[in-house]
Structure 1
Amino acid sequence: MDSQHRVGKAARLMRKGSVRDAQKVSKLQRSLNNNEETSRTQSVQTRLNDKSLAPSPIVTLVVGAEARLFAAHEDVLCQSPFFERVIRSNFTDAQNRRISLPDEEPEVFSGILEYLYKGDYYPRLLHNKQRNSWELEDSLPRRVTPQTSPTINDSPKFGGGRAGQTPQTPAAVEATVFLSGIGQHILRDTAIYCAADRFGLEELKRLALRKQGLQAGIDVGTILRSAQYCYANTPDSDSRLRAHYLALIIRCRKTFKRSGTMQAEMEKCGSDNVYGEGSGKLFFDLFVAMCNHLDDVIDASNARTPKTI
């Protein structure tokens, strides 16, 4: 009898303990759930109160000598290290969000803003799936395959700094842009590249270089002016756009020689040239590149017997 009583008592205690344990677990679970819900509520409230989720402030940009006005969102501009640095350091007054860029060209800067908002600028880079090649938007006619580098056109009727059009290969839309600072037309992609370098936009530099490689029907004068502008507005460490121009001139050296434009530009170098030291650096690098090219030709033709060129 005593043993049965002890067994029954032990069973009741175990059952009571199980109930208490279950109740403790239930209370603990409810407590955890309440804490989690409170934490989520506080987190949501914190995010709602966070100013970073508020609409990005508008920044006014005064561009060029004529002080043309542009407007852009602050967070969009901050994709550029240049603008992020200016905004973080200068905008102490929330009411006066204005950046002056007197040395920039409005036509070029509009392309910079378009890229910051859309990831590209007009004319856009389009992929032709049928030919598995890249083309520029609105290039005419569509059936012509884009060139791998600007096509030289030294005919007199294609002068004046505008992109010309040969019967075989058309020029893409908006190939050149007039820069009031130098009073000349240059390739728009070169101007975009140089501006992207100033604003720290490496992806835009790659895009501009790729687009320039698809241009066609460009006259010799425009290419030389664009090359000199490139040298005057990029650091000596630049190894992409500068090399692109050197390779283009060497590859089309017969055309440049016939045009007479090269000689005229070299004679102006260092005198009344608007590009300053950029012209001298261009022609010196071109001389070195030509010498290296000549050495490569000699070595490839006959490494043992020297030849007179």
Structure 2
Amino acid sequence: MFSQRYETSSRSFSKGHKVSRSSSSFSKDSGITKKRHESRHRRPATASNLSSSVVTLIVGAEQRLFAAHENILSSSPFFDNALRNLYTDPSAKRISLPDEEPEIFSSVLEYMYKGDYYPRLVHNKRRDSWELESISDDDDKRAAESTVYHRGVDGDLLKDTVIYCAAERYGLDELKKLALRKQGLQSGIQCSTILASARYAYANTPDSDSKLRAHYLALIIRSRSTFKRSGTMQLEMFNGGTPLFFDLFVALCNHVDDISSTQ
């Protein structure tokens, strides 16, 4: 049942929330771990990749201009197809992306050139774990905030989730893995942002792609005590209408079954 106590939605989850056995309700490859992994990310661009023609990309409602080399863009099936067939202006080599967020596209382009996007994923040898690089400068901190404003939902979303969905559109599977791993390292995110980002993930990934969805289900279950004290989940369920809540119900049932079987 819903908690009768209705409080502000500004509550957030933190590193203090322990991982429950609910993760066993999902497939083995859906979980998020901070342990060392074999890096399979895209290699940085070489001189040979930078000798091709330059393409202009017009991004977002404000028509921000980006430039990228054809060889770099061709690593994406989406852009490879656009370069061959769908130029907005073939003579000028321009591609228009009116629905994309410039901040997100900037990170995608950075990944395509450098194999990672800011803040980078670095290996902590002492702990034998992967972490986000430390940021000292205040301007860099603002640039590396974990959330991004998205006009499509009129609010903030987890940046790594939006990058994951962009990578899905552009056919960049390794970027999806990287964004998912980075998202698993985030903490201190408001409940309302988690739920808005979960809705966005469901709306922008196919049903066959369960990894990002499973991440959110596990996250909500791990943070259930915080969500229970927050009015955010109650409002979200009253508004309803997304497959998120049926999946969450199934995941919670699996979680209860896991506990019962251990007992």
Please say whether Structure 1 and Structure 2 have the same fold, judged by a TM-score greater than 0.5. yes
Residue correspondence of structure 1 range 17-166 to structure 2 within 5 A: 55-91=51-87, 95-139=91-135
In 2, distance between residues paired with 1:172 and 1:98? 27
Q: 1:210 to 1:218 in 2, by over 3 A?
A: same
In 2, distance between residues paired with 1:77 and 1:296? 45
Match of 2:249 in 1: 287
Letter matched to residue 138 of structure 1:
S
Residue correspondence of structure 1 range 213-252 to structure 2 within 5 A: 213-252=184-223
Structure 2 unaligned residues grouped into runs of 5+: 1-47, 137-141
In 2, distance between residues paired with 1:134 and 1:101? 33
Aligned-residue CA RMSD (Å): 2.4
In 2, distance between residues paired with 1:251 and 1:93? 49
Q: Which has the higher contact order (CA 8 A, sep 6+)?
A: 2
Is contact 2:110-2:116 (8 Å) kept? yes
In 2, distance between residues paired with 1:87 and 1:174? 32
Q: Which has the larger radius of gyration?
A: 1
Is contact 2:50-2:71 (8 Å) kept? no
Q: 1:284 to 1:207 in 2, by over 3 A?
A: same
In 1, distance between residues paired with 2:251 and 2:150? 29
Residue correspondence of structure 1 range 158-307 to structure 2 within 5 A: 173-270=144-241, 280-301=242-263
In 1, distance between residues paired with 2:253 and 2:50? 59
Q: How many residues align?
A: 212
The structure richer in helix per residue is 1
SS of equivalent to 2:243:
helix
Letter matched to residue 213 of structure 1:
G
Letter matched to residue 85 of structure 2:
S
In 1, distance between residues paired with 2:198 and 2:163? 13
In 1, distance between residues paired with 2:88 and 2:97? 19
Residue correspondence of structure 1 range 1-20 to structure 2 within 5 A: none
1:221-261 CA-partner distances (Å, limit 9, x unpaired): 11111111111111111121100110111111111111111
4+ aligned runs moved over 6 Å, structure 1: none
Q: 1:138 to 1:173 in 2, by over 3 A?
A: farther
Deviation (angstroms), 1:298:
2.0
Q: 1:94 to 1:255 in 2, by over 3 A?
A: closer
TM-score by length of 2: 0.75
Deviation (angstroms), 1:299:
2.6
Q: 1:212 to 1:136 in 2, by over 3 A?
A: same
Is contact 1:136-1:172 (8 Å) kept? no
Q: 1:99 to 1:173 in 2, by over 3 A?
A: closer
SS of equivalent to 1:218:
coil
Is contact 1:138-1:173 (8 Å) kept? no
Indicate the percent of aligned positions where both proteins have the same amino acid.
66
Letter matched to residue 54 of structure 2:
I
Deviation (angstroms), 1:296:
2.3
